[in-house]
């Protein structure tokens, strides 16, 4: 009887999981089917059929030698550098944002002095400052990393300040009464309590980092996904152009899924995270 009950529970969970999977992806594949049909009937060069885009993508990225795991040189020359710029700029922006946010959040008057300055810089669109970064760093990774850091730091910084300020003062006073080292109560009390807001800022800044990576490479780069996308557009190779666009979509989806998995694991102690999909 116990075995039958366990089997039925597993069956229900599998069925429920398949139902969610079908529900989430049914519309996506239906739209792909409509796109394929409309492209075949309309024969528009600007919107090639998805099957042609898939074929171009496979040829572009997965026709390399076995010694390179069948990855082409394009992956190593363009995709990996873009990933390095995105993640490198995001990690630097996250580290700086959290460090400054904790310091300003614990300061009584810190934001009173720098708040107007932050509001001014936040109002400047990061792509508009790319020419400034080109003058400062020249064409290359320095300009792209600087652009990413400038645009991605604000969600982390401001969310960290808000999260640190929302920590229950009783917890901090209790830690101080036991004369615990400052580094200990910041690490063990302040950061865990502010964790949800910090992760919300990091998640938003990751999307901004991917966006700014593309924009900075479109403007001033000799390689990368953005540069390759521009080259394909200028050559009127639309299947290749759409291949790069699809890759950007997959990267955004993958970054978000991986970040949510890490966030759920790090913040699993929170009751609101239980049962999250």
Q: 43-57, 88-102, 163-177, 184-198: which has the minimum mean pLDDT? A: 163-177
pLDDT in tens, 82-124: 999 999 999 999 999 999 999 998 888 888 888 889 899 989 9
Please report, for the chain, the start and end positions of each structural domain, with discontinuous segments joined by +.
2-43, 66-273
Residue 264 or 175, more confident: 264
Two structure tokens written together for 202: 């990091």
Range among 22-26, 117-121, 171-175 with highest mean pLDDT value? 117-121
pLDDT in tens, 33-69: 898 888 888 878 888 999 999 999 999 999 888 888 8
Report DSSP letters for 202-261, one per residue.
HHHHHHHHHHHHHHHHHHS-SSSHHHHHHHHHHTT-HHHHHHHHHHHHHHHHHHHHHHHH
Two structure tokens written together for 23: 């529900």
Helix axes 130-137, 191-219, angle to 10 degrees: 80
Stated pTM of the model: 0.86
Q: What angle do CA 244, 139, 149 make, to 5 degrees?
A: 75
Asked if residues 196 and 271 have their Cβ atoms less than 8 Å apart, the reply is no
Q: What is the DSSP letter of 273?
A: G
Q: 20-24, 98-102, 246-250, 270-274: which has the minimum mean pLDDT? A: 270-274
Q: What is the DSSP letter of 127?
A: G
- CATH, range 66-273: 1.10.3720.10
pLDDT of residue 10: 56
Closest alpha carbon to 97 in 183, 162, 142: 162
């Amino acid at each position: 009887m116990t075995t039958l009950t366990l089997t039925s529970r597993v069956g229900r969970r599998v069925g429920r999981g398949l139902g969610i999977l079908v529900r989430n992806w049914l519309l996506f594949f239906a739209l792909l089917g409509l796109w394929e049909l409309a492209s075949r009937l309309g024969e528009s060069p600007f919107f090639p059929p998805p099957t042609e885009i898939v074929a171009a993508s496979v040829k572009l990225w997965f026709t390399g030698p076995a010694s390179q795991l069948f990855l082409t040189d394009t992956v190593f020359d363009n995709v990996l550098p873009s990933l390095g710029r995105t993640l490198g700029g995001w990690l630097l922006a996250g580290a700086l944002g959290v460090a400054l946010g904790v310091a300003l959040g614990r300061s009584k008057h810190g934001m009173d002095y720098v708040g107007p300055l932050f509001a001014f810089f936040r109002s400047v669109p990061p792509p508009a400052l790319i020419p400034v970064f080109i003058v400062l760093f020249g064409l290359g990774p320095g300009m792209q990393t600087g652009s990413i850091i400038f645009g991605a730091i604000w969600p982390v910084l401001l969310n960290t300040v808000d999260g640190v300020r929302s920590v229950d003062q009783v917890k901090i006073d209790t830690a101080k009464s036991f004369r615990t080292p400052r580094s200990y109560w910041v690490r063990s009390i302040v950061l865990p309590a502010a964790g949800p807001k910090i992760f919300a800022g990091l998640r938003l800044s990751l999307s901004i980092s991917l966006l700014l990576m593309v924009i900075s490479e479109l403007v001033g780069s000799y390689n990368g996904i953005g540069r390759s996308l521009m080259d394909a557009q200028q050559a009127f190779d639309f299947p290749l152009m759409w291949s790069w666009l699809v890759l950007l979509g997959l990267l955004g989806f993958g970054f978000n899924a991986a970040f949510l998995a890490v966030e759920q694991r790090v913040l699993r102690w929170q009751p609101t995270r239980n049962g999250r999909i």
